[in-house]
Amino acid sequence: MKKIFKLNLEGKNRDRVLEAVKHEIRKYVARERRRDLPKGVDFWDFDCKFGLSAESAEVVHFATITEHINTVAQAEGEQFYLEILAKHGVRQPRLPSETDIATDA
């Protein structure tokens, strides 16, 4: 998904538009996560970029997208650009920490 979301639409309440945008993003992510996983892949991960325009978009963590959207909304921004691309995720084995070693003894 690569899209510019406009927050001020004529005849629409800004708060409702904001909630509709968040809903559309959640719907897209849920749809991507439902796709079948290829062999050797544990989960779907996402590469994300966020900015006021496509040229100024910066890489952000997936979990912080809502915070960025809220920041733009509070600053009375007109629009924002969001890019979410699904990628394969493979879990890394956890290294034993000191607390794990202490509980095993």
7 found inside a domain = yes
94 found inside a domain = no
Length of the chain: 105
SS3 14: helix
pLDDT tens for each residue of 54-89? 999 999 999 999 999 999 999 999 999 999 999 999
pLDDT tens for each residue of 20-38? 999 999 999 999 999 999 9
Distance CA 97, CA 30 (A): 33
pLDDT score recorded for residue 102: 60
63 found inside a domain = yes
Structural domain harbouring 75: 2-36+43-89
104 found inside a domain = no
pTM of the predicted protein model: 0.82
Q: What is the DSSP letter of 64?
A: G
> Whose CA is closest to 17, among 98, 94, 72?
72
E strand or H helix that includes residue 88: strand 79-89
Q: Count the domains in the chain.
A: 1
Give the residue with greater pLDDT, 76 vs 101: 76
